[in-house]
């Protein structure tokens, strides 16, 4: 845990526990919301067949990204999760999204 705290720039075990809780809630909530979301946009198992599950997994990604920052905010960890989000987007070669949001906030 010490290496993880150093890597994330965290000093307290309490903050680490809060971060783990946010990750758990966000993962569960995004998986739960992916089915109603895909149904809402008209993507169902009946009209996609075998492609439904991959499409649903792809739909989880943006839901997860938004929920991660929102849940982090609700738990008082917005700064950490905003940093984490930008780092994750940059590692996926989607850093332009993080830069766009930063330019909008300035």
12, part of any domain: yes
94, part of any domain: no
86, part of any domain: no
Looking at residue 98, its pLDDT comes to: 67
87, part of any domain: no
84, part of any domain: no
| Sequence-ordered alpha helix ranges (H) in the chain | 2-8, 13-40, 45-48, 52-74, 78-91, 95-105
102, part of any domain: no
How many domains is the chain partitioned into structurally? 1
CA atoms of 28 and 4, how far apart (whole Å): 22
56, part of any domain: yes
44, part of any domain: yes
Q: What is the pTM of this model?
A: 0.77
> In terms of residue numbers, what domain contains 10?
2-78
Question: What stretches in the chain show pLDDT beneath 70?
Answer: 95, 97-106
Dig out the tokens for 69 from the structure: 């920052």
């Amino acid at each position: 845990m010490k290496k993880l705290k150093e890597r994330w720039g965290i000093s307290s075990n309490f903050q680490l526990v809060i971060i783990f809780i946010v990750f758990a809630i966000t993962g569960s909530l995004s998986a739960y919301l992916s089915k109603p979301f895909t149904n809402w946009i008209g993507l169902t198992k009946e009209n996609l067949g075998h492609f439904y599950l991959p499409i649903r997994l792809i739909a989880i990604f943006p839901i997860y990204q938004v929920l991660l920052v929102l849940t982090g905010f609700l738990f008082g960890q917005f700064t950490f999760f905003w940093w984490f989000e930008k780092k994750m987007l940059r590692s996926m070669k989607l850093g332009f999204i993080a830069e766009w949001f930063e330019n909008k906030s300035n």
